[in-house]
A = this chain, B = another copy of it.
Amino acid sequence: MVQQTLEVVKATELKEKPDPATLKFGRQFSDHMFMMDYSAVDGWHQPRVVPYQPLELDPSAMVFHYGQSVFEGLKAYRSADGNILLFRPEENFRRLNESCDRLCIPQVNEEAMLEYLKELVKLDKDWVPSEVGTSLYIRPFIISTEPTLDVSPARAYTLMIILSPVGSFYKGGIDPVGIFVEDEYTRSAPGGTGYAKTAGNYSGAYKAQERASTHGKAQVLWLDGVEKKYIEEVGSMNVFFKINGEIHTPALSGSILDGITRKSVIELLESNGMNVRQRQISMDELIAANEAGSLQEVFGTGTAAVISPVGRLEYKGQDYVINGSEMGETARWLHETLVGIQTGEQEDPFGWTIVLET
């Protein structure tokens, strides 16, 4: 697959930028978007940047009926000196292709996608906010568009990238959240789609999220789909535990997401001499560690929150408090370091950030 020439059609009128102080997640979009189509004859073709606009699809378009849809999420950050930084974007396109494989969607040229993404963000560079905690959220996604009710992989797709300025995840400072350990609903089982960023994984989780909310908890802690015994993820984040000074996280089993923040956290800890054990972790072990006083920290990792400390968890009708419901030192250090690298405030010894030349 050779990189194809990017066609750019600029918007004739630019939208008013939203007030950075009132930004919500994923509700406002920039002036342009990227599109590329797939057909069986031409493969992925006609990469283009066009004004942000509605999509027109036949009511029989397969995505509506059979959910062949994958996506990614990453952010562009404004550094103090006015540069725009991307954080490990090549990892997103690598994972997009893994999701494509699981959903029988034709894979994309990762290098070309990165170039297209850069061009799009450069064109809409004024949409990258500069206030502390803000960023430009980037959403690449692919949907099946073939107009047929046949239950089989589509022969036509559209890939798009849309951009949305987002506010700080932690408006009033970082407050540890409560999580509800879900032992009835299942997010994914071995052999399922759990490791893929595909649409159905998310809406299938809403019912459990509603249940967590009725228990006054912000997020669901998912257990494995087979024994309902081992920890998988928190909401749509990966999860880490500090037990007796050592960091533990569920191993990539095929049913959890291969998070880029997860991977960065592991690399960051290991490069600072800390051992991270990726393994099966049972709820029983966790509760025992908490009761013995050796469970020091619990935190989620993801693109939206970066690090999200957990202060309480409810399991089988009982509430457990973690670390006095305070953010732990490891979570705080990870958050500061990662955000520091992402925004260019700290040195990036890993080569994780890409500076856009605007």
Q: Which residues in B have their C-beta under 8 angstroms from that of A103?
A: 203-204, 206-207
Select from chain B the residue with minimum beta-carbon distance to A149: B26
Question: Do residues A152 and B52 form an inter-chain contact, with CB atoms below 8 A?
Answer: no
Question: Do residues A57 and B60 form an inter-chain contact, with CB atoms below 8 A?
Answer: no
Q: Which of A8-16, A184-192, A261-269, A270-278 contacts B (4 or more CB under 8 A)?
A: A184-192
Of B27, B102, B144, which is within 8 A of A150 by CB? B27
From A56, A187, A199, A210, residue with most partner B Cβ within 10 Å: A199
Question: Do residues B69 and A203 form an inter-chain contact, with CB atoms below 8 A?
Answer: yes
- A184 to chain B: closest CB distance in Å? 5
Query: How far apart are the CA atoms of A225 and B225 in the complex, in Å?
Result: 8
If A149-B164, A203-B68 touch, whether A56 touches B55 (CB-CB below 8 Å) is yes
Query: How far apart are the CA atoms of A207 and B196 in the complex, in Å?
Result: 13
- Classify chain A's interface size: 35 or more
Of B54, B67, B162, which is within 8 A of A199 by CB? B67
Select from chain B the residue with minimum beta-carbon distance to A164: B149
Select from chain B the residue with minimum beta-carbon distance to A228: B191
Q: Which residues in B have their C-beta under 8 angstroms from that of A53?
A: 59
If A104-B207, A186-B189, A226-B189 touch, whether A202 touches B64 (CB-CB below 8 Å) is no
Q: Which residues in B have their C-beta under 8 angstroms from that of A29?
A: 59-60
Query: How far apart are the CA atoms of A25 and B25 in the complex, in Å?
Result: 40
Of B137, B141, B200, which is within 8 A of A204 by CB? B200
Q: Which residues of A contact B (CB under 8 A)?
A: 24-27, 29, 33, 52-61, 63-69, 71, 102-104, 137, 139, 141, 143-144, 147-153, 160, 162, 164, 184-193, 198-204, 206-207, 209-210, 225-226, 228, 236
| Subset of 11 A-B contacts with CB under 8 Å | A26-B148, A26-B150, A29-B60, A54-B59, A55-B59, A55-B61, A67-B198, A67-B200, A139-B149, A189-B189, A200-B200
